[in-house]
Structure 1
């Protein structure tokens, strides 16, 4: 702790009184370890984060950066533009009726920058009724003890500069309200897409890359073999004839998303999930530009699969009520036609409403129909669920559950097991299963009809069709 004290204490600072640049009645100064330079728009993002922290009242905000070099560069930019940042914040101080605002920049546990804004209209900067706020910009959030040491030294340094400039000490309550902005290195895989909207503002869209949680062995045996033969093996050897798109069709809860993750895992690829909220914009034409920019970035990655869950929003264009939607679907048609794009997997419950041009061969080559699981698959699902939740269950109970859950989908089996485990305090027994089953009503006639409709739809597609639609006697 003493070593930390010396490091923070001995940092050399250049002090500048910036009162003449602040709005009337405000006075202030900055102290930085880096000489300040002219204004630069590169710090606007940081200023907006600081302002957001002030207005929201939250204690912590995080700015993610790619690596330590970018982190160090951003902190240096903040220190070299401390004057610009403080001048911007001065207006917010007046709007929020804050009497004093302190800004502290810490890098490698060293205080490298300080700033202070004071409402000079107050009788004394030592007044006990001042409304004080402190923002600390750090590269790493220290533990409580280290933070206390840094705050103590910040207080001493600010006091020393205030005495030098104003011949008065600062308010002792200046650090009562402390908020942190953490410039942190991104510790997960993220694809960054740079977007520039029509009015000129550049924003970064962050698309996380998720690791698949399911594997090919979690699928029905017949479907697993077909997927390995027709999808996984050709893609793994980078064959030119390999499929470039997959459409998964089935009622809710049967495991379409699980199948998509299993395919990605078999290909040793991550998953990027796209939803309309990811790319749609209120600005005319921006939706199409954003989609194009997203896939321009995705094409650079060879280790991802794009998953579009519930693609029912891509309805047929003759149902569109606005030309913007037609333009969006046209962009999707061009994207799916691009041979350089990553593998795209879509899922849907209602294939009849999706624009048929999207799902033709060449765009989505393989269509997989998934019905309600048969008794052998239900047994596999139950075992997998119990393993994932660390639930105690014996084989006899598993067989009883299989017999009592005709026409259940995978999601309902998951819910049933969790309810029974809650009733049995972590142990699934016969009484707990009977208690949980009373909470479910499954319309078998309705589900038989859905299963038959799947068989009918499977005959209407010109794509390569894979089916897992068990017969009633298999259910």
Structure 2
């Protein structure tokens, strides 16, 4: 007969062995998982983003949803105010009428015709502010903004890309109203070909199927894409992007407005004529003008230091600074074109 002490000892040894086996197995599984370090890093990033955005951290997210949630835009990158976008009055007015107002009416109206479009395409030359406009729409509408990086949808393990594509919409649904923004949408949702890789084709099919699913529901989720090559976007995607807005290269008046926005916090001499500078900067986009202003400020900083001054107390920008910067920038652009043609 086994006495009580022996039975207690055996029980303790069995429980201890089971505990050791459990934690050993857990340790092995944790470190065998190739995505373990990625998942831990994503969790930390999501926690920080949620704090910045004021999102309830009690919302449960799966492993794939956590990886997608890292692409929420937070902090200072949340978006721009409308007055920070120069030279787009007509486009901004149309965006407000066709997107912002329907988002506000959606909760009160019983008509599906007053709901916002489920797909929006911003197209036009590079550097004209498509991404900035998308963020401004999200901020004005009070939407969460997912800046979807397509590289985060690809995975070497079979089937994972489809799960990540599904997570995009499940995360958007949990934190709606949400805008899913895809920059250079033509690189991801381009014309499908018979020679496309199987996993890529399946991911695109999954993305479009889920898109159709929430489009027929009452969820406030918008997919917004930007491209400078609209003809390369798959026709099935264009069909889903019913609201299309062209963002053209700014004209002289718009360039002057953009310069006003870029330079509003800089010291400028009273005789600087921004309209004249805008006239000479023919064909330049918003991002080009920002670089021109940077070159002008750099030249002024160099002149200030050369005269014995300090970079912390720069002399006011002069007309000649801008004229030299425009000439330098446009000359470099012309040389690039000539090299390309050769």
Settle same-fold status: TM greater than 0.5: yes
1:367-398, Cα deviation, whole Å (9 max, x unpaired): 011111022221221111113x5453547331
Match of 1:371 in 2: 248
**Which 10-residue stretch deviates more, 215-224 or 270-279?**
215-224
After TM superposition, the structure 1 = structure 2 runs for residues 275-424 of structure 1, keeping only pairs within 5 Å, are 275-313=149-187, 314-318=189-193, 320-337=195-212, 338-339=214-215, 340=219, 342-360=221-239, 363-387=240-264, 390-392=266-268, 394=270, 396-424=272-300
1:3-32, Cα deviation, whole Å (9 max, x unpaired): xxxxxxxxxxxxxxxxxxxxxxxxxxxxxx
Q: What secondary structure, in the 3-state scheme, does the structure 1 residue paired with 2:258 have?
A: helix
Q: Is the 8 A contact 2:99 2:117 kept in 1?
A: yes
Judged with a 3 Å threshold, the aligned counterparts in structure 2 of structure 1 residues 300 and 42 are, in CA distance, closer, same or farther, namely farther
**Which 10-residue stretch deviates more, 308-317 or 325-334?**
325-334
Q: Aligned to 2:103, which of 232, 235, 254?
A: 235
Q: What secondary structure, in the 3-state scheme, does the structure 1 residue paired with 2:235 have?
A: coil
Judged with a 3 Å threshold, the aligned counterparts in structure 2 of structure 1 residues 434 and 257 are, in CA distance, closer, same or farther, namely same
Counterpart check, 1:195 vs 2:195: no
Q: Is the 8 A contact 1:295 1:341 kept in 2?
A: no
Q: What secondary structure, in the 3-state scheme, does the structure 2 residue paired with 1:271 have?
A: strand
Q: Is the 8 A contact 1:250 1:348 kept in 2?
A: yes
Match of 2:310 in 1: none
Match of 2:329 in 1: 440
Q: Distance in 2 between matches of 1:295 and 1:385?
A: 36
Judged with a 3 Å threshold, the aligned counterparts in structure 2 of structure 1 residues 63 and 227 are, in CA distance, closer, same or farther, namely closer
Could you tell me how far 1:39 is from its partner in structure 2?
Answer: 2.0
Judged with a 3 Å threshold, the aligned counterparts in structure 2 of structure 1 residues 39 and 320 are, in CA distance, closer, same or farther, namely same
Q: Distance in 1 between matches of 2:173 and 2:244?
A: 23
Q: Distance in 1 between matches of 2:194 and 2:21?
A: 57
Could you tell me how far 1:65 is from its partner in structure 2?
Answer: 8.4
Counterpart check, 1:207 vs 2:71: yes
Could you tell me how far 1:232 is from its partner in structure 2?
Answer: 1.3
Could you tell me how far 1:399 is from its partner in structure 2?
Answer: 1.9
Judged with a 3 Å threshold, the aligned counterparts in structure 2 of structure 1 residues 299 and 62 are, in CA distance, closer, same or farther, namely closer
Q: Distance in 1 between matches of 2:329 and 2:296?
A: 12
Judged with a 3 Å threshold, the aligned counterparts in structure 2 of structure 1 residues 296 and 422 are, in CA distance, closer, same or farther, namely same
Instruction: Name structure 2 gaps, 5 residues minimum.
Output: 1-19, 302-313, 338-342
Could you tell me how far 1:316 is from its partner in structure 2?
Answer: 0.6
Judged with a 3 Å threshold, the aligned counterparts in structure 2 of structure 1 residues 325 and 395 are, in CA distance, closer, same or farther, namely farther
1:109-143, Cα deviation, whole Å (9 max, x unpaired): xxxxxxxxxxxxxxxxxxxxxxxxxxxxxxxxxxx
Q: What secondary structure, in the 3-state scheme, does the structure 2 residue paired with 1:424 have?
A: helix
Could you tell me how far 1:309 is from its partner in structure 2?
Answer: 0.7
Q: Is the 8 A contact 1:195 1:293 kept in 2?
A: no
Judged with a 3 Å threshold, the aligned counterparts in structure 2 of structure 1 residues 284 and 263 are, in CA distance, closer, same or farther, namely same
1:235-256, Cα deviation, whole Å (9 max, x unpaired): 1111522211210001110111
Q: What secondary structure, in the 3-state scheme, does the structure 2 residue paired with 1:334 have?
A: helix
Q: What secondary structure, in the 3-state scheme, does the structure 2 residue paired with 1:307 have?
A: strand
Could you tell me how far 1:44 is from its partner in structure 2?
Answer: 7.3
Please identify which structure carries the higher helix content.
2
Match of 1:150 in 2: none
Could you tell me how far 1:187 is from its partner in structure 2?
Answer: 3.5
Judged with a 3 Å threshold, the aligned counterparts in structure 2 of structure 1 residues 341 and 412 are, in CA distance, closer, same or farther, namely same
After TM superposition, the structure 1 = structure 2 runs for residues 262-273 of structure 1, keeping only pairs within 5 Å, are 262-273=136-147
**Rg larger in structure:** 1
Q: Is the 8 A contact 2:42 2:67 kept in 1?
A: no
Instruction: Name structure 1 gaps, 5 residues minimum.
Output: 1-35, 53-60, 68-183, 197-201, 447-475
Task: Report the aligned-residue RMSD.
Answer: 3.5
After TM superposition, the structure 1 = structure 2 runs for residues 212-227 of structure 1, keeping only pairs within 5 Å, are 212-217=78-83, 218=85, 220-227=88-95
Q: Is the 8 A contact 1:305 1:343 kept in 2?
A: yes
Structure with bigger RCO (C-alpha 8 Å, 6+ apart): 2
Q: What secondary structure, in the 3-state scheme, does the structure 1 residue paired with 2:128 have?
A: coil
